[in-house]
Structure 1
Amino acid sequence: MASDEEAKMKERNENIETEQRSDVKIDQPGRQFYIPSQIVDEFGEKGRDHLNKPFRAQLLLALTAGSFMTFGAVFSILLAVGVEAKGIYHLLSGLGFAAGYSMVFISGSVLFTEINVLLPSYLFNKSGLMKSNIYKFWASAYIGNILGAFIVAGLIQMSGSLSDTFYPELSKYLDHKMKFMDYGIKGWFEVLVSGILANWLIGMAAFLTTAARDITGKILGTMLPVVLFVAGNFQHSAANMGYFSMGFLASDKYTWYEYILFNLVPASIGNLIGGGILVSLLFSYAYKEDIQTSLGKKKQ
Structure 2
Amino acid sequence: MTDFNPQEIAQLTVEKGVSKVNTPIGKESLLAFVGGAFISIGYLAYIRITGTLPAEWGGLSTFIGAGVFPIGLILILLGGGELLTGNMMVVSMSYINKKISFLDMLKNWGIVAFFNLIGALFVAYFFGHILGLTEGVVLEKTIAVAQAKVGDSFLIAFISGIGCNWLVGMSVWLCYGTKSFSGKILAIWFPVMVFVLIGFQHVVANFFIIPAAIFAGSLSWMAFIQNIIPVFLGNAVGGSIFVSLFYSIAYVKKTEKIKKESLSRERLLDSSLSTELEK
TM bracket, shorter-chain basis:
0.7 to 0.9
Q: How big is the shift at 1:282?
A: 0.2
The residue number in structure 2 matching 1:111 is 83
Deviation of 1:284 after TM superposition, in Å, equals 0.8
Q: Matched residues in 2 for 1:228 and 1:269: separation?
A: 21
- Percent of paired sites with the same residue: 28
Say which of 174, 185, 190 aligns to 1:219.
Answer: 185
3-state SS of paired residue (2:8): helix
* 2:172 aligned to which of 202, 206, 223: 206
Q: CA deviation at 1:131?
A: 5.0
Alignment of 1:22-37 (within 5 A): 31=2, 33-37=3-7
Aligned position for 1:256 = 221
1:201, 1:225 → 2: CA distance?
A: 5
Rounded to whole Å, the distance in 2 between the matches of 1:36 and 1:46 is 15
1:290 to partner: Cα distance: 5.3
Q: Deviations over 1:267-298 (max 9, x none)?
A: 1001111100000000110013554389xx63
Residue in 1 that maps onto 2:72: 100
Match for residue 49 of structure 2 among 79, 84, 88: 79
Q: Would you say the 8 A contact 1:90–1:231 is kept in 2? A: yes
Q: Which residue of 2 aligns with 1:24?
A: none
Structure 2 SS opposite 1:298: helix
The letter of the residue matching 1:217 is G
Query: For the residues of structure 2 that align with 1:166 and 1:125, how far apart are their CA atoms?
Result: 46
| Distance of 1:108 and 1:36 partners within structure 2 | 23
What's the TM-score, normalizing by structure 2?
Answer: 0.86
Equivalent residue letter for 1:90: T
- Do the aligned partners of 2:11 and 2:252 also contact (CA within 8 Å) in 1? no
Residue pair 1:198, 1:274 contacting (<8 A) in 2 also: yes
Distance 1:149 1:105 in 2: 17
Count of aligned pairs: 259
Q: Is the contact made by 1:71 and 1:242 (CA closer than 8 Å) also made in structure 2?
A: no
Picking from 114, 128, 140, the partner of 2:111 is 140
Measure the CA separation in 1 of the matches of 2:209 and 2:257: 43
The one-letter amino acid of 2:191's match is P
Q: 56-65 or 158-167: which moved more?
A: 158-167
Paired position in structure 2 for 1:230:
196
The aligned residue for residue 298 of structure 1 is 260
Query: How far is 1:103 from its partner?
Result: 0.9
Alpha-carbon contact 1:125-1:291 (below 8 Å) kept: no
Preserved contact between residue 209 and residue 218 of structure 1 (Cα < 8 Å)? yes
Q: Kindly indicate whether the alpha-carbon contact (under 8 Å) linking 1:176 and 1:233 is maintained by their aligned counterparts in 2.
A: no
Give the CA deviation at 1:160.
4.4
Distance in 2 (alpha carbons) for counterparts of 1:293 and 1:88: 48
Shift of 1:190: 1.0
Contact 1:41–1:291, Cα closer than 8 Å, also in 2: no
User: Is the contact made by 1:40 and 1:291 (CA closer than 8 Å) also made in structure 2?
Assistant: no
Distance 1:162 1:241 in 2: 14
Q: Partners of 2:37 and 2:174 in 1: how far apart?
A: 23
Q: Secondary structure at the match of 2:157?
A: helix
Q: Does 1:286 align with 2:250?
A: yes
Amino acid at match of 2:214: F
Q: Work out the CA distance in 1 between the residues paired with 2:80 and 2:7.
A: 21
TM-score by length of 1: 0.80
The amino acid across from 2:116 in the alignment is: N
Residue 120 of structure 2 is matched in structure 1 by 149
* DSSP 3-state at the match of 1:234: coil
Q: 2:37 & 2:18 partners in 1: Cα distance?
A: 23
